[in-house]
Amino acid sequence: MTYCVGIRLNAGLVFLSDSRTNAGLDAISTFRKMMIYEQPGERFMVMLSAGNLSISQSIREVLQVEKVPNGDDEPITIWNAKSMFDATRVLGSAVRRVYSQDGPSLKAAGVDFNASMIFGGQIKGEAMRLFLVYSAGNFIEATRETCFFQVGESKYGKPILDRVLTPATKLDEAAKCALVSMDSTLKSNLSVGLPLDLLVYREGRFRSDEHVCIDEHNPYFRMIHETWGQRLREVFEGIDDPRWDGGDAAHPLMTGSPRYEPMRKITNPGERIV
């Protein structure tokens, strides 16, 4: 399994992925799940992938040569697309091509066609965009209301993203938030593991110099891991324990309500529960 997150902010984009794949308790491997497509000064795109590794790798290879019709003009590829929407159409077409080639064989072997991707970046002449591509090749786009996407084991790291991220969040804060999200996932799920790939893209650059591979020796991530757990415990301990009797508690747990009445056994056949 895996965990990847992509974030679209006013100031730029943040991408983070783990690198663990496993096919059982004793078959754990490391594969990079972040691919960067760059034409300096003209376009910058990043793809994060989750799901079946063989499917994801096939999609990556097909994507670099895939073309979609463009009327009488030259077919669209990720290298000549005029917009990120068109580039994402090419990615969707690549997904469907791999499905047409491998889907029947996978189905015959009892294997689901399982792949999902986060695809985002910027092409000169338009704003940054971020998409979530499904295994059918269809996709949705991030908005101001939903400024991040996750694929893979998303449930453990989602709460911190929901509470912290807005389009106005600073890039470095978003990178920190993504790493906390990843640390929470690593803590709760063994199918996600180090090393991590973290990339920060600043709007209008069409390249990124802020890209790092994070392993267990990385001092910043070790600090995140230790500090986040400690601060969570401190906050937890700072919250009042529940007071069942109310008393002088500022925030009593129990208040009067008929909903709290238990279900009682009828001892007299003529008795009726009200």
**pTM strictly above 0.85:** yes
Per the prediction, the chain carries an average pLDDT of 93
Judged on CB neighbours under 10 Å (0-12, 13-18, 19+), 241 is exposed
Q: How confident is the model at residue 271 (pLDDT cuts 50, 70, 90)?
A: low
The 10s digit of each residue's pLDDT in 59-116 is 999 999 999 999 888 999 999 999 999 999 999 999 999 999 999 999 999 999 999 9
Find out whether 133 and 141 touch, Cβ atoms under 8 Å: no
The 10s digit of each residue's pLDDT in 134-163 is 999 999 999 999 999 999 999 999 999 999
Q: Give dist(CA 175, CA 169) in Å, integer.
A: 10
Give the three-class secondary structure for 159: helix
Domains of the chain: 3-234 (3.60.20.10)
The 10s digit of each residue's pLDDT in 2-37 is 999 999 999 999 999 999 887 566 778 899 999 999
Give the three-class secondary structure for 129: strand
